[in-house]
Homo-oligomer: A and B are copies of this chain.
Amino acid sequence: MSVRARMRRFEQALRERGLKSTAQRDDIARVFFGAEGHLSVEELYAAVRRVNPRVGYATVYRTLKLLKECGLAAERHFDDGQARYEPVEDDQQQHDHIICERCGKIVEFASQELERLQERIGRFLGFVVGRHRIELYGICAECREGRRRRPRSEHGVHRL
Seen from chain A, the residues whose Cβ lies within 8 Å of a Cβ on chain B are: 77, 79, 98, 100-101, 107, 109, 111, 113-114, 117-118, 121-122, 124-142, 144, 158, 160
Contact = CB atoms under 8 A, between A and B. Distances in A.
Given A109-B125, A125-B109, A130 B101 contact: yes
Which of A107, A117, A127, A137 counts the most chain B CB atoms within 10 A?
A: A127
A125 B124 CA distance: 29
27 contacts: A98-B121, A98-B125, A98-B127, A98-B129, A107-B125, A107-B127, A109-B125, A111-B121, A114-B118, A114-B121, A117-B117, A118-B136, A124-B158, A124-B160, A126-B140, A126-B141, A126-B142, A127-B139, A128-B138, A128-B144, A129-B136, A129-B137, A130-B138, A131-B138, A133-B134, A133-B137, A134-B134
